Amino acid sequence: MNTPRTFTLAFTGASGMHYGIRLLELLLASGNHVYLLYSQAAQIVAQQEMKLTLSSRTKETEELLSQRFEVAEGQLRVFGREEWFAPVASGSNPADSMVICPCTMGTLAAVATGLGQKLIERAADVMLKENRKLILVPRDTPFSAIHLENMQKLVQCGAVILPANPGFYHHPKSVQDLVDFVVARILDHLDVENSLVPRWGKENL
């Protein structure tokens, strides 16, 4: 049996909350632990896109999502935007990997320039300095020269830029199929086993 790992997952205010919630569900279902962070803008997007309330009272969200996904006590922990005593704020206790999904261009820029004014940015900075995996999932399109420059800088620092661009070779029949395509790619980069979509070259494609 594999030893559970710990992942930091951050939601920001970009459209695409379905990707983040589905990723959270599957990380928890795989038996791993998740530290969840979210911005104020993410609270608005979650309500707008999914009618999901991410409370400013983090314990309420922790209880809500733990019940929703039927996870063990302590498997999911939710931290506030300026909760500086959270484990993710220090390189002495980093998570195994971190994903920002969805990721705004503002958050991406803050991480690329080393701004750690909010916990999400600080947690990402910790991952980079500790040589841990950091994945950013932008959904915006098109990208400006500034966006691309910030992405290049992050890639050079070891981060993975994984845009929420679903493929179609698996013949998706629903929006969920498109969401799962992107989430499957994130899980692959986290080395979390999944069978969300057929692998390229398989006979059942």
Determine the Cα–Cα distance for residues 88 and 70; give it in Å rounded to an integer.
Answer: 24
What's the rounded Cα separation, in Å, for the pair 77 and 40?
A: 18
- What are the boundaries of each domain within the chain? 6-189
Residues 75-87: tens digit of each pLDDT: 999 999 999 999 9
> Do 88 and 127 touch, CB atoms closer than 8 A?
no
Q: What is the pLDDT of residue 192?
A: 97
SS3 for 76-134, per residue? Answer: EEEECCCCCCCHHHCCCCCCCEEEEEEECHHHHHHHHCCCCCCHHHHHHHHHHHCCCEE
What's the pLDDT tens digit per position in 100-153? 999 999 999 999 999 999 999 999 999 999 999 999 999 999 999 999 999 999
Q: Residue 44 corresponds to which tokens in the numbers above?
A: 């608005």
Report how far residue 43's alpha carbon sits from residue 12's, in angstroms, rounded to the nearest whole number.
8
pLDDT band at residue 195, thresholds of 50, 70 and 90?
very high
DSSP three-state, residue 45: helix
> For domain 6-189, which CATH number applies: 3.90.600.10, 3.40.50.1950, 3.40.47.10, 3.60.15.10?
3.40.50.1950
Q: What is the share, in percent, of the chain residues with pLDDT greater than 70?
A: 98
Phi, psi (rounded to 5 degrees) for 3: -70, 130
How much is the pTM? Answer: 0.96
Pick from 188, 174, 172: nearest CA to 26: 188
**Residue 204 pLDDT exceeds 80:** no
Percent of the chain whose predicted confidence (pLDDT) is above 90: 93
Side chain identity at 129, as an amino acid letter? K
Summary mean pLDDT of the chain: 95
pLDDT at residue number 3: 85
Predicted pLDDT at 200: 87
Residue 42: name the closest of 131, 127, 106 by CA: 106
